[in-house]
Copies of this chain bind each other. A is one copy, B any other.
Amino acid sequence: MPRDGSATRERILETAERLVIDNGFAATSVDRVIAESHSSKGSFFHHFASKNDLARALVERYAAADVAHLHAALEHARAATDDPAKRVVAFLSYFENDADAIMSAQSSCLYVSILTERDLVLDGTSGQIEEAVVAWRDGFAELLRAALPGRTPAGVDIDVDALSDHVFVTFEGAFLLCRSTGDSGHMHRQLTVLRHLMEALLGAVAATPPRRRRAGTPSRH
């Protein structure tokens, strides 16, 4: 009894997302997605041209929600304070507070499942994941640059992009740590560690003897 239309598509996507995150994409058969979403072959291949097209749709959906989550955290941080360093901490605390909710909603990250299958990655889903990665890098790097105007106390240049990427890295690594031990509490603890480390770095920069910004510090380039 076909009634509503695209609600079926959404039901298939939700079921498939869970199965792919839990078991991987190649290990998730179309038949099982159909069975667990109470759909049918005809329905599935009406909404998706192929199994790979499902992967594309899954990544599109997931990446959109992911980037939305990022922007929510950025807005939260900007609204919380005007102090650049405190904004950085507020940004990280936002995810720290969300950690347990994230882990109860999903056992791992879809990116992990998709990125492990290189064939799919080359098919066009890769671009969407990379766009999300770049969004995270740029979004947090903007906060970081405001809080890290100069050099670290040790006189070492910090690669702000790489430092910003470390948030993404911590998320993905923590997802794997949770899975390898079966303890989803690692996500919260790793985000706490990330905040502590970042606070230490910001504290070290703040404690640096005031150098003149944008002045004649000997450049290496």
Contacts and interface: CB of A to CB of B under 8 A. Distances in A.
A180 B111 CA distance: 9
Contacts of A193: 158-159, 162-163, 165-166
A169 B177 contact: yes
A190 B177 contact: no
Interface in A171-193: 171-174, 176-177, 179-181, 186, 189-190, 192-193
Contact of A180 (B126, B166, B179, B204): B126
Interface in A90-124: 108, 111-113, 115-119, 121
A70 interface: no
A149 interface: no
A168 interface: yes
A121 B179 contact: yes
Nearest to A183: B130
Query: What bracket does the count of chain A residues touching chain B fall in?
Result: 35 or more
Contact of A203 (B108, B153, B163, B186): B153
A169 B165 contact: no
A25 B193 CA distance: 32
A1 interface: no
A198 interface: yes
Interface of A: 22-27, 108, 111-113, 115-119, 121, 126, 129-130, 133, 152-154, 156, 158-159, 162-163, 165-166, 168-174, 176-177, 179-181, 186, 189-190, 192-194, 196-201, 203-204, 207
User: What 5 pairs between A and B have smallest CB-CB spacing?
Assistant: A169-B173, A173-B173, A26-B27, A26-B26, A162-B189
